[in-house]
Amino acid sequence: MKNIISWSLFSGLRSRYAMGLCWLLFAAGAAVAGPLPPAHDWDRHLDRDHAPQPALVARLEGVQSHADCALADWAALPVDELISTVRAASSACLNSLFSASGDVAVALFNENTMLAVAQAFTQDANQYDGSAAAGAKALVLFLRAGFYVQFYGDELPDYSPQLSQKISTGMTVLLRHSGFFVLTERNAEYVSEVVTLVDSAGINLQHLPQLTALFASLNVSNADGYWAPLAVNNVLTVFFRAHYADAADAWFADHLMVIEDLAAMASREDLTSTGSEYVVANAAAETARFYQYGDAFKAAIDAPLKGLLQRYDFQGVGASIWLAAADMIDYYLPGQCQEFGLCGFVDDIDAAILSIRHQCPSTFSVRAQSLTPQQRDSVCDDLLALQQRFHRLFGQADSPVADDYNDQLEVVIFASSDQYQLYGGVLFDISTNNGGIYLEGDPSDRNNQARFIAYVAEWQSEFEVWNLMHEAVHYLDGRFNMQGDFQDTLSADTVWWTEGIAEYVSKLDDNADAIDTGDSNAWPLSTLFANSYNDTSARIYDGGYLAARYMFTQQSEQLDYLLMHSRSGDYSGYQASLQQLGDSLDVDYSSWLQCLVAGGDCDPDGPDGGNGDVLLQESAISADQAVWRFVWVPAGYERIQVTTSGGTGDVDVFVKYDGWPSQQDYDAASMSAGNEERLILAAQGGEYLHLLLSPKAAASNVRLTVSASPAAIQ
């Protein structure tokens, strides 16, 4: 599946794709995006496809929990009182509208209420003086939230054309006012919301001819602001969506002037090296998008685009503009690279930008833009240490899930977040509005290359590759705990686990922020189990961390049962087991969380025991060569756990039901460093389980335990 993203949203993203929510991205079969860094200059790069405004991560997290209003109370108000309440609402209240659901959503956003608010919007337009009041912007946000909830939710039917027509009437009034095109920072905030409303209401073509006049409103005096560039960039989103309208090509053919205006915006040299260069780059991409119609608009866009490619290059001043145009042309005109001087440009960029290649002394390799030898080696050391930690925790070393051939992870490291946004999309066909992204691909393909694309956190005082540990855990978890590709895992509720375990293994107990977040939000464990990539990053990452840590340290019996399903690719069985758990652990989880909040020793013994009925136990095994054991598995058990511990040396464990195992032929194996081996497999009642203890180094005083457990979840 292609990424569902657009250059029209923010700089650094592939322009060829449609827009969508970006916690979850798909490329080459599977992708997991990492958490964003602390908000600094990320604001203008965030996805704003009908999303709450302003699109600042730091201001959106926890909106549902901390909004100073109750939407249920709003839903009970008469419409006139509702409009007055909306006008006076805080940003937190307004942003929380986008998460309305159920009966509240129906009461707030039914068509009659939306029509009344649209009428109030038109009244505001008649009184507009070029410096819109906060209340006017609030009504626009309400309308946008209504369209958002109607589109993404199931509660509301489609709105009738009457609603869009009423909003269009208000837009027509606004666009007649010269003050609308004066992009002071205050007015530009209102304009940016109104332009997005045009797209939400699906009235793009009706108003594009007037909206392109905003291009001239962006100049060196406001180019480094926030709202003025964003307002103009939102016009490009209106362009992008307009292609989906019926007979869009015929409409554009009758309105060539808007294409010429767009091409002129893409040619604005005065905005290069300013805070508005991303707008020019997006304009270049949107201009090149007209190649999707073949030669229909070639005469209008060829010269401007070829001029851009000659004026700039993929490095230096205007690089983002060159890349935006080149990437889009390459997509829509495959095989015509010679005409534009673009043959092999992706390979040229790769060779110039990612010139460092290094194989770590492990299953990791590094491909980087700018690392010192010391930094490169520290990355390798950190990855190796993490890999060893993971296998100590799970005991699955050298025993990947079936049909997983991702035996190497390539770690791509850009020099900074800006460089990641500039080149990541072109080189790897990804979205870059994230903290890095893991591309698992198809692990069953022997030619597949698993890859984590990252960047150096330039805002940190010490060298750090952002999310390096988190994303490396995704690789290890996918290889040893989750059979199939990422899309297979999404057939069940696995987000709490995949993101939570990545946070837990990378941070262990050192995550005070997650504990604080969990305490303030008080999500029940059963709620966290249902996490999806549509939830806030606080719930996905911090909540996921808490859920994974709790299950790992307090409920290992239950967790092993879930992992037994996921390791075999039985996601329907996994989901059934998770649903059977329901809310049965919520009270215990809450007590455990409060223990963490209070600073108590809440995981004193590490993972909970829960070994079930012991079938075989020996406490002093010594081996300088293979040791064989077998044990009868009675009927009535669901799973078998085999563990070794203690002693000296290094022993590996291989097990098989149908005959004796070997290092090449086994049903399950654990090959961690040292003697701490642990493996789980389904019980086959009425069969013998055969065991091989194979020493890598002569072992002595090793403890072996084979235990059987009934169904952990009924």
- Give the pLDDT of residue 396: 67
Type of residue numbered 16? R
**Average pLDDT over the chain, rounded to an integer:** 87
> Which residues have C-beta within 8 Å of that of residue 225, sequence separation ≥ 6?
185, 188, 275
Q: Average pLDDT, stretch 64-86?
A: 83
Q: What is the pLDDT of residue 604?
A: 57
Residue that wins the pLDDT comparison between 693 and 672:
693
Q: Which of these, 548, 431, 454, lies nearest to 501 by C-alpha position?
A: 548
One-letter identity of residue 455: Y
Please tell me the class of the 491-599 domain.
mainly alpha
Tens digit of each residue's pLDDT (9 = 90 or more) over 561-607 = 999 999 999 999 999 999 999 999 999 999 999 999 998 878 754 44
Q: How confident is the model at residue 25 (pLDDT cuts 50, 70, 90)?
A: very low
193, 471, 557, 677: the active-site residue:
471
In this predicted structure, what is the pLDDT of residue 31? 61
pLDDT > 90? residue 165: yes
Q: Are 358 and 343 in contact (CB under 8 A)?
A: no
CB-CB contact of 140 with 94 (8 Å): no
Q: What is the pLDDT of residue 401?
A: 94
Q: Name the strand (E) or helix (H) holding 705.
A: strand 687-709
- pLDDT for 442 equals 95
- Once rounded to an integer, what is the mean pLDDT over residues 662-666? 93
Top pLDDT among 704 and 601 is at 704
Q: Assess whether pLDDT exceeds 70 at residue 38.
A: no
Structurally, what CATH architecture does the domain formed by 613-710 represent?
Sandwich (2.60)
User: Beta partners for 58?
Assistant: none
Look at residue 617 in the predicted model and tell me its pLDDT.
80
Of the given ranges (9-18, 42-51, 155-164, 454-463), which has the lowest mean pLDDT?
42-51
Our measurement of the distance from residue 552's CA atom to the centroid of its chain's CA atoms, rounded to an integer in Å, reads 24
Q: Where are the domains of the chain?
A: 345-484, 491-599, 613-710
Model pLDDT, residue 34: 60
**pLDDT for the residue numbered 452:** 96
Helix (H), strand (E), coil (C) string for 255-310: CHHHHHHHHHHHCCHHHCCCCCHHHHHHHHHHHHHHHHHCCCCHHHHHHHHHHHHH
- Residue 53 or residue 466, greater confidence: 466
Instruction: Give strand ranges (E) for 335-455.
Output: 356-359, 364-368, 409-414, 437-439, 450-455
Q: Does 345-484 carry CATH code 3.50.50.60?
A: no
Give 226-262 pLDDT, tens digit per residue. 999 999 999 999 999 999 999 999 999 999 999 999 9
What pLDDT, on a 0 to 100 scale, did the predictor assign at position 47? 28
Q: What residues pair up with 643 in beta bridges, in sequence order?
A: 678, 705
Mean pLDDT of 38-48: 30
Confidence tier at 33 by pLDDT (50, 70, 90) = low
Q: What does the pLDDT read at residue 621?
A: 87
Instruction: Name the amino acid, one letter, at 27.
Output: A
Indicate if the pLDDT at residue 297 is higher than 70.
yes
User: Mapping DSSP to helix (H, G, I), strand (E, B) and coil, where does residue 658 land?
Assistant: coil
- The answer to whether the beta carbons of residues 529 and 493 sit under 8 Å apart is yes
Is 471 annotated in the active site? yes
Question: % helix / strand / coil in the chain, to the nearest 5?
Answer: 50, 15, 35
Give the pLDDT mean for 300-320: 97
Does residue 548 carry a pLDDT above 60? yes
Cα 134 to Cα 118, 137, 190, 572, 585, distances in angstroms = 16, 5, 8, 49, 45
3-state secondary structure 611-631: CCEEEEEEEEEEECCCEEEEE
